[in-house]
Structure 1
Amino acid sequence: MPRASKIWNEEIQKRITVTSKVISCIKETKMLGMVDFLQRAIQDLRISELRRAKQYRMLVTYMNLLGNAPQMVGPVITFGIAILAQRVNVGLSLSIATVFTSLSIIDLVAEPLAQLISSVPRLVASLGSFERIQAFLKEGTTTSAADHSGSSTDEHVEHRTVPHSEGIEMQAAPLQASAPHGDVAVVQNGTFALEPGLEPILHDITIRIRASTITVITGRVGSGKTTLLRGLLGELPSTGLVKGFQGAVAYCSQTTWLTTSTVKDNILGQTNLDDDWYRAVVHSCALVQDFAQLPHGDETVVGSKGQSLSGGQKQRVALARAVYSRLPVLVLDDTLSGLDAPTQYHVWNCLFSSTGLVRQYQASVILTTHSLNCLSHADNVIILGDNGRIAHQGNFDAVKNTAYLENLSLVDIQRDDSTPFENDVSTEASKQIKSPGKDTEVDLEQDLLRKTGDTTLYWYYLKSIGWLYGSAGAIFLVLDCFVRIFPQIWLKFWTEDNKKSGSADTTMYFGVYSAISLMGLVVIGINVWSVKTRSGQSIDHVRRDSVEIFSEHALDATEVSYEVSVQVKQGTDTQKAIFLLVYRAPLSFFGCTDAGDLMNRFSQDLSHIDRDLPTALFMTSLAVLDCLAEGILIMIGAKYLAAAIPFALIALYCLQAFYLKTSRQMRFLDLQASAPLLTKLIESIDGLSTIRAFGWQEAFRTASVDLLDQSQRPYYLLFCIQRWLTLVLDLFVGAIAVLLVSMAIMIPDATSTGAIAVALYNVLNFNRSLARLITSWTELETSLGAIFRIRTFESRTPVEPSPTEEDSVQPPLHWPAHGQLEIRHITASYSTGSKPVLKDIVLSISAGDKIAICGRTGSGKSSLTLALFKLLHLDSGSIVIDGIDINQVPHNILRQRLIAIPQEPLLLPGTLRTNLFPYDDVLSSEDIPSDDSLVDALNKVSLWSTISLHGGLSTDISNLPLSKGQMQLLCLARAIVRKNSSRILVLDEATSAVDQETEEVMIKIIESEFATHTVISVVHRPQFLRGIEKVVTMQEGRITDISS
């Protein structure tokens, strides 16, 4: 069972990991029209997860069979032995007292035994989780420079990494004292690999980085620039002498990392606020004008992974965080690549010039870049070659004549190269930074419904089950109640007949009793057999049936059967519904919704619906029938006790009203409390290198523990409430038992001895049934709380406006066949009622035109491309492509018909082949590219030689050690594969992560492969796009100039 549980948990981990990655790249996946593919991919993972769970659930079913055997078979064996003893000893008789006393004793023993056995699956399954945790903890740990921040300031720290059978072991040794003009880091004959045992990326590296200098690392795409930085930070295994940075380091990773908080909080990080220094940093990073445009200034919430900011804004916020920290070492991994020319000029001068902020506090800067201008201002330049070794290093004068730099196109980022950056405007804007209260964006979810419950949820869920499965469940419920209650009545008939006649038909009575008692085990056998026969079904059949899930808390066979009928209906449909809800939401929704909250829908809520809700519904329904049946039998045993029924009902009503009012809210709080913890976990994983570099481990650990503690509080309080409920119910049932015995003694002729015996026997179980009713009702409310959250999510999640069936137009298969585009006076915003980001845009693009869109970071360039893909809400105007208004085209069809290369490269889960062409479900088979055409596309972008060494097209994309620039080349190869499906290519700063030489290669490929296409490019350096017919300049959401 631990092994089965471990396999199941691993499958859950795969699904959650992929789902998290997809949600984090929501803009790119929507732009590329990948919704259908990703929905299928995640559904396949879900189906695989449920199929892997069947072995574990089968074992749970066997355990339930074993756990119910004592209670169901025990009386049969006991009475069978008694009958045999009676035949040996004629004087021995089965009296009412003997039978029901024996039955009570058996129950007293069997009930704890059943609970013990039913707890075994959870206990044993937890061992599988402990094994996974243990394996994780035994993995190697990475010792970054910040881990030694507590060491003496007079010491450097040496990092030597040696291979270890169970991980990576980092050893530290003191080195020569650090002086103001000493060495910040030294590497001698160092090699760096991504993981122990893998082929090193960098070989024979020898560098010396001096304090208070600017060191620039450059090289072609894939040469190992990021690898070298991560190696210096202690993030990668290495050999040779590696003397890392001392203490904490201000690090900006190539993929910008921001937390889901305000812009100001992101800049401050874990540093206290210094107003003067903060204003200076904001101005130096050219953020003042951006703050003036943001809805709440620097108090604007950036959203999950900075969804509310443009790419350049995110880079500058991360840069501001690094500078604001005033740490002595700044490590910047291509941080300036996403900035336009005037903004880059301003940032460079304000930070890194002789009078810049960084120079003022004498920080050491290590920067990777492709900008030749940055190289010319560096104190030391390191050029990495294609072979993983240093090709050249020295000052700029010493390396400027090397072949690599001679091949670079000179990038002059002086003011007169582009629209000048208006420093005076920024200065004025700095005085206008808004500081309103934070936008809470947290909606109170109908507090009244949380207290009183929402009865429509029951109907909402029952409708999803369907009449067929609902009827089958009701039949099994009645059958379950019958096989457990009727044997008691049959024993009463048997013992009373034996008392009257003295010689009852023992064979007949015992045979019927045995048959009814064993009926439950027979049904369990049938369900076990059903699991085995259906486990070999094909995946298509599993998709139709959505897979069978058996309860972990089944009381007996009827519960298992009922669980099957309900969960077959549910299956993967719920996840699909949530997924489609997420993908139909506009981009603005993701800017104000935490990733943890979305992940909570796919993890905890989905788990409640799939695993807990059917069980809770069954347990509640069964407990209602049990309480009714047992109550009736108790009343029959003492007729005058019926007078107490109204008082008992009033007491129970008050009890459940008081209990459910509190427990229901505790359950809702329990569901919601996990979202902040998930958000923090996702952020910590994404920014692990940054957190370790800054030395924020303890702060994040403390925050995570605090969130963990908060997430557990509702559960603990609910547990305390349940203990109180158990006490009150025991006292209530005890009072009923006292009344029953008192009436039986005082009014002996009011009922029969057998009825009294049955009543007393049911009194023993009545408190358990009542407790089970209220607790299972609470569990049902909890699980329905997940339904409530999803239904609320469905009703409150905005949906991208789509054309009605009457207005919808189905474009031709190869539309757009020409690539003519008309933008007619469009005004667009991220959501209805929000501030427009595009204002009265008018642009005519002829078929085959090559258009460059440029402007300051945040000017609306990327927003214009988003409007082409209907990712922005058009407040007015229209966009017409080849004579068809895109407002009449369904979203996914439009996005699949345009070829796009987004700013952030998107690699999908699966093989390389799938990544290159994930559209095989929408085109005819003859349009699916062959492997030869895929290889040809990879050869054109110079990636096949690298990829072929790692398994070719069939290799999993996660196993390819690609740099960010190489990922962008792979996205270009994907576009080449699709070039015949459309005549429009949109590039959203697609060359920002590559060096100028690679950019030249990409431009040549685009010129040759898309010569007849309409090409719309968002660029920072339009002079590098040869053959451009029009250059469109934007500012503050408007087109300010169109030049040829």
Structure 2
Amino acid sequence: MIYDMLPIVVTLVTFSIYTATQPDHRLRPSVAFVAFTLFNQLKAPLDRLPKSISFLIMGWVSVTRIVNFFKNEDLDVTNVRLDKDLEDAVQIRAGTFSHIRSKPVVLHNIHLTVRQGSLTAIVGSVGAGKSSLLSTLIGDMYKHNGTVSVKGSVALVAQQAFILNATVRNNILFGAEFNEDKYNRVVAACALISDFEMLPKGDKSMIGEKGINLSGGQKQRISLARAVYNDADIYLLDDPLSAVDAHVGKHIFDNVIGPSGLLNGKTRIMVTHGIHWLPEVDEIYIITAGRMSEHGTYESLLSHNGDFAKFLKEYYIDDEKNAPTDDSPSRQTSQDFDEDDDVYDEQEEVETGKVAWNVYLTYFKSMGLRNTILGLLLILVSGGFNVAYSIWLSLWTSDAIFLSNSSESVKQVAMEKYVREMSALGVGEISAVLCFTLAAAYCFCKASSNLHRTLLSNILRAKSSFFDMKPLGMILNRFSKDIDVVDTGVGWSVVYLAWTIIGLITSIGGILYATPFFVVAIIHIAALYLYIQRFYICTARQLRRLSSKASSPIYAHFSETLHGCQTIRAYKHQERFIEDNRDKIENFNVYRYFCDSSENWLDVRMAATGGLLVFLASTFCVFSTQIPYLNCQLTSSLVGLALTLVFNITNILKRMVRAISNVETNIVSVERIKEYSEVEREADWTTDNKPSRQWPSSGVIEFSKYATKYRPELDLVIKDFNFEIHSKEKIGIVGRTGAGKSSLTLALFRMIESAKGCIKIDGVDISTLGLHDLRCRLTILPQDPVLFSGSFQDNLDPFGSYTDLQLWEVLSQCQLKEYVSNQPGQLTAECGEGGKNLSVGQRQLICLARALLRKTKILIMDEATAAVDLKTDDVIQKTIRSEFANCTILTIAHRLNTIMDCDRILVMSKGTIAEFDSPKSLLDSKESIFYGMAKDAGIVE
């Protein structure tokens, strides 16, 4: 707080030099108090100077970063040439492409010709470059050589569907006008009508962020319906049927993609791993390691007896049996919607009225109550020194008048005495301010750190339903905007308020010392100030809350747009999303404008009231000596002291109203952090009941009258499960959408807790264990592979528990060794955010390698091979059979063929066990549900 210390030093030095150089060594009141008042006016500009320099530096850094971003190479809009005179629909000539200029080439010397109105298939192994080839047609790849030409508009169905946090209907319309007849035809062709019937509000139901409350198949069908409804000339379909079951896939192919579907006559380019669709297409392109190896019709490729023919003969029979069994839901299924309250459309709640006192207490506790009390005492001490300094100045000027006729030596001694004593008071105040500043900086850092730690800990331990209901933007807002306010605003605004209150009390004390009767005017002026303050603070506080709320949609929209930028660019909807972003920023700016306007409103009224206070003080000083019964004996020194302190009070009262407002508006961020720091947490991470180091040694899983639900107000998703899975047993789990298959895996990991009954693993009730002890002993291969920003090594072995040799061994088992060894840095090569540098299939193989490293006694596979080709699927299945031969495996089936060798099949229906027996026994009964599934998949006649 240099701005507080510097006026003290300047005053002391100036008055010392002034009196020393004056012939009579006299400090006159007319000089002293005018100078003192002016020196005090230095506080505001001195306060703003370092902040201005800091803001200037931060602005310079921000501008530099923005400029560096602008210097990055933009997508070249000329990469893809729109040619209306092109004879074919799509044409690539001698194309060589990479993701960005500096990255290795992923597609070499590509030649591709697609006739208008034809259906073309792109096939190849995982990581061959199939999705990258589609990206070249929307200009998403850097073109080193060649030409890319298209004729007409393009629609994209990405491999990982882009789903907006909006209604199902708005996701399908995607900005287009609603045509009921056309819309009904599209949703029927995409097999969505039955899904709409399951949703509480039909197609007007809100979808959670990134489609959290939909199955993988539902998301993909909505993405396909969007493309069909938008009526493009060219359709790029990136494995659109991988996540749907056999009969739904056939329905979509027949009614949408195939020769008699809605897209008949449109140009369709489809990446697929389902070779049973290949006889239906017009032309097939085979891509191997980024190069086109063969192309032609199905018959011609088969007759050539080349690589494709060999591959086809090897896997054709498998693929006939390998059709998906169900578009199994992700963690939340459509039945998990709350029919009474569309929770996924939840608006961020905004508190009203005064901030509760427990919010202030939370902040002071995070800072330490002892530290808080110490800080207040230091403020009180420094305030006392400040007033004593002013009073001593009054005594000095009064004494100077009294000593005007004294000898030179007496004046010299008196001057030295006052300079020495004022120096002591000044040093005392400076020391108190310095000690307080250091203590405050420590306390504020401690408070911010503790609040952030508590917030982060609670968010990481929050129940999964919290993330289903809260968009990412709301959570990011707490960790960015609100934490920033706590870091830079809350502490100093509290200090500022305490400083002004102490300054007000000590200044009033000084005025009453000089002119006791002025208290009458102060009482009335204080009442006016309080009225203005109450009116302003109520408004400013709520505006800050609304402003904080309005910033959450900006974060959410930004995150959503980044996630779907490829789809947005393919549909040429950049301007619409930019406009949406502008609208959200404009909505935020509305609240910021009113916040600033309210401050201007306050400034005008504070200035007027301050002027009134100075006028009353001056009038009182002039006329008080003329009223006999007041018996006032004001000296020029006391008048100077009174007016100096009145000027000080005017500034203090103005600053105090603003300080109270700043405290109440800034403390809103603590209130919002406190809200998320108190969300319902999962069970304890660790407990006293520790399992043995070898647990589970057998892998026996027992469900005893078990039932569970996602939230207390929802229906049961698993009902009365009562069965046992034996050691080393392989269990296949199948069922229709919403049957509860993924809910079963969540129950094993205690992502959802038991409503009744229990689950025992090797005789241990898992509800008695800490979550860490349970989850680290189980392994899951999820439907959607999860990778983090970092290297291959970080993703495989984040805790450094394994040697490089072990990492290379599991990569070899997953057929990734060659790919990783060819990357710059090999194991230290970056995977990119979410594994964006890898194909979806490669990401799944990384997850498999991670599972092989851990090799726990129980393995759960949740649609783990949905995004891989048959050859890779075969690799995964063989690896799991050999490496996990002595483990218990639960497999939620995507391709029915993958569970035919299981010991038993669990068929689920509406959260209950419909059938549970060996595959042979179930297939022997033509009345069984499993037999019907096998028949739909072509496994049985």
Seen in structure 2, the aligned counterparts of structure 1 residues 515 and 256 have a Cα distance that, compared at 3 Å, is farther
Cα displacement (A) at 1:416: 12
Alignment match of 1:280 (pick from 185, 189, 208): 185
Task: Say how many residue pairs are matched.
Answer: 890
Alignment match of 2:316 (pick from 410, 415, 432): 410
Counterpart CA distance in 2 for 1:887 and 1:592 is 25
Seen in structure 2, the aligned counterparts of structure 1 residues 798 and 301 have a Cα distance that, compared at 3 Å, is farther
Which amino acid in 1 is paired with 2:357?
Answer: T
Cα displacement (A) at 1:582: 2.3
Instruction: Please state if 1:375 is matched with 2:278.
Output: yes
TM-score (norm 1): 0.81
Partner of 1:295: 200
Cα displacement (A) at 1:664: 0.9
The 8 Å contact of residues 984 and 1015 in structure 1, kept in 2 or not, is answered as: yes
Seen in structure 2, the aligned counterparts of structure 1 residues 109 and 644 have a Cα distance that, compared at 3 Å, is closer
Alignment match of 2:639 (pick from 729, 742, 756): 756
Alignment match of 1:929 (pick from 779, 802, 814): 802
Partner of 2:543: 666
Counterpart CA distance in 2 for 1:238 and 1:906 is 30
Which amino acid in 2 is paired with 1:505?
Answer: A
Counterpart CA distance in 2 for 1:601 and 1:411 is 54
Seen in structure 2, the aligned counterparts of structure 1 residues 126 and 906 have a Cα distance that, compared at 3 Å, is same
The 8 Å contact of residues 299 and 435 in structure 1, kept in 2 or not, is answered as: no
Choose 901-910 or 577-586, whichever is displaced more. 577-586
Partner of 1:81: 17
Alignment match of 1:514 (pick from 395, 398, 423): 423
The 8 Å contact of residues 638 and 740 in structure 1, kept in 2 or not, is answered as: no
Cα displacement (A) at 1:140: 1.9
- Local SS of the residue matching 1:410: helix
Partner of 1:697: 574
Partner of 1:156: none
Instruction: Please state if 1:860 is matched with 2:860.
Output: no
Choose 905-914 or 195-204, whichever is displaced more. 905-914
Counterpart CA distance in 1 for 2:133 and 2:67 is 31
Cα displacement (A) at 1:1040: 2.7
Seen in structure 2, the aligned counterparts of structure 1 residues 892 and 712 have a Cα distance that, compared at 3 Å, is farther
Counterparts of residues 619-634 of structure 1 (less than 5 Å)? 619-634=496-511
Instruction: Please state if 1:765 is matched with 2:674.
Output: no
Cα displacement (A) at 1:81: 2.8
Cα displacement (A) at 1:683: 0.3
Counterpart CA distance in 1 for 2:59 and 2:372 is 33
The 8 Å contact of residues 211 and 219 in structure 2, kept in 1 or not, is answered as: yes
Partner of 2:438: 561
For residues 63-93 of structure 1, the C-alpha deviation after alignment (integer angstroms, 9 at most, x for no partner) is: x64x56653432233223313421xxx1463
Partner of 2:813: 940
The 8 Å contact of residues 384 and 506 in structure 2, kept in 1 or not, is answered as: no
Alignment match of 1:711 (pick from 562, 569, 588): 588
- Local SS of the residue matching 1:817: coil
The 8 Å contact of residues 792 and 831 in structure 2, kept in 1 or not, is answered as: yes
Partner of 2:839: 963
- Local SS of the residue matching 2:286: strand
Counterpart CA distance in 2 for 1:246 and 1:670 is 47
Seen in structure 2, the aligned counterparts of structure 1 residues 319 and 101 have a Cα distance that, compared at 3 Å, is same
Partner of 2:35: 102
Counterpart CA distance in 1 for 2:124 and 2:82 is 32
Partner of 2:659: 776
Seen in structure 2, the aligned counterparts of structure 1 residues 434 and 256 have a Cα distance that, compared at 3 Å, is same
Partner of 2:924: none
Counterpart CA distance in 1 for 2:843 and 2:206 is 29
Partner of 1:123: 56
Partner of 1:357: 262
Choose 785-794 or 970-979, whichever is displaced more. 785-794
The 8 Å contact of residues 25 and 415 in structure 2, kept in 1 or not, is answered as: no
Counterparts of residues 221-232 of structure 1 (less than 5 Å)? 221-232=126-137
Cα displacement (A) at 1:317: 1.6
Instruction: Please state if 1:814 is matched with 2:814.
Output: no
Partner of 2:366: 464
Instruction: Please state if 1:487 is matched with 2:487.
Output: no
For residues 336-389 of structure 1, the C-alpha deviation after alignment (integer angstroms, 9 at most, x for no partner) is: 212222221222122122221121xx3222221111022222212111112x21
Partner of 2:827: 953
Instruction: Determine which structure has more spread, i.e. the larger CA radius of gyration.
Output: 2
- Local SS of the residue matching 1:1033: strand
Counterpart CA distance in 1 for 2:598 and 2:39 is 30
Cα displacement (A) at 1:246: 4.8
Alignment match of 2:229 (pick from 307, 320, 324): 324
The 8 Å contact of residues 152 and 232 in structure 2, kept in 1 or not, is answered as: no
- Local SS of the residue matching 2:236: strand
The 8 Å contact of residues 303 and 590 in structure 1, kept in 2 or not, is answered as: no
The 8 Å contact of residues 639 and 751 in structure 1, kept in 2 or not, is answered as: no
Counterpart CA distance in 1 for 2:43 and 2:453 is 42
For residues 705-744 of structure 1, the C-alpha deviation after alignment (integer angstroms, 9 at most, x for no partner) is: 0100111222211111111111111211211111111111
Partner of 1:548: none
Alignment match of 1:826 (pick from 699, 706, 713): 706
Seen in structure 2, the aligned counterparts of structure 1 residues 567 and 947 have a Cα distance that, compared at 3 Å, is farther
The 8 Å contact of residues 472 and 565 in structure 1, kept in 2 or not, is answered as: no
The 8 Å contact of residues 311 and 338 in structure 1, kept in 2 or not, is answered as: yes
Partner of 2:380: 478
Choose 748-757 or 363-372, whichever is displaced more. 748-757
Counterpart CA distance in 2 for 1:703 and 1:1023 is 46
Counterparts of residues 761-910 of structure 1 (less than 5 Å)? 761-795=644-678, 797-800=679-682, 809-910=689-790
Partner of 2:555: 678
The 8 Å contact of residues 483 and 517 in structure 1, kept in 2 or not, is answered as: yes
The 8 Å contact of residues 208 and 344 in structure 2, kept in 1 or not, is answered as: no
Which amino acid in 1 is paired with 2:206?
Answer: V
Which amino acid in 2 is paired with 1:235?
Answer: D
Counterpart CA distance in 1 for 2:703 and 2:71 is 58
Partner of 2:85: 177
Seen in structure 2, the aligned counterparts of structure 1 residues 440 and 255 have a Cα distance that, compared at 3 Å, is closer
Tell me, which stretches of 5 or more residues in structure 2 are unaligned?
Answer: 328-333, 405-410, 626-631, 920-941
Cα displacement (A) at 1:197: 2.3
- Local SS of the residue matching 2:353: helix
The 8 Å contact of residues 165 and 211 in structure 2, kept in 1 or not, is answered as: yes
Choose 264-273 or 1026-1035, whichever is displaced more. 1026-1035
Which amino acid in 1 is paired with 2:460?
Answer: Y
Counterpart CA distance in 2 for 1:293 and 1:512 is 84
Partner of 2:239: 334
Counterpart CA distance in 2 for 1:724 and 1:92 is 48
TM-score (norm 2): 0.89
Which amino acid in 1 is paired with 2:316?
Answer: L
For residues 229-262 of structure 1, the C-alpha deviation after alignment (integer angstroms, 9 at most, x for no partner) is: 1122101111223324456422122222211112
Choose 821-830 or 261-270, whichever is displaced more. 821-830
- Local SS of the residue matching 2:273: coil
Alignment match of 1:640 (pick from 493, 496, 517): 517
The 8 Å contact of residues 733 and 905 in structure 2, kept in 1 or not, is answered as: yes
Seen in structure 2, the aligned counterparts of structure 1 residues 514 and 820 have a Cα distance that, compared at 3 Å, is same
Partner of 2:935: none
Counterpart CA distance in 2 for 1:735 and 1:864 is 74
Which amino acid in 1 is paired with 2:681?
Answer: V
- Local SS of the residue matching 1:183: coil
Counterparts of residues 265-276 of structure 1 (less than 5 Å)? 265-276=170-181
Counterparts of residues 119-268 of structure 1 (less than 5 Å)? 119-143=52-76, 159-160=78-79, 175=83, 177-178=85-86, 182-246=87-151, 248-268=153-173
For residues 101-137 of structure 1, the C-alpha deviation after alignment (integer angstroms, 9 at most, x for no partner) is: 1122333456335424432211231111111112212
The 8 Å contact of residues 1003 and 1025 in structure 1, kept in 2 or not, is answered as: no
Counterpart CA distance in 2 for 1:296 and 1:794 is 32
- Local SS of the residue matching 2:702: strand
Partner of 1:1015: 889
Tell me, which stretches of 5 or more residues in structure 1 are unaligned?
Answer: 1-63, 145-158, 161-171, 422-429, 524-555, 921-927
Cα displacement (A) at 1:444: 7.6
- Local SS of the residue matching 2:285: strand
Cα displacement (A) at 1:858: 4.0
Choose 695-704 or 316-325, whichever is displaced more. 316-325
Alignment match of 2:467 (pick from 566, 587, 590): 590
Counterparts of residues 521-536 of structure 1 (less than 5 Å)? none
- Local SS of the residue matching 2:776: helix
Instruction: Please state if 1:343 is matched with 2:276.
Output: no
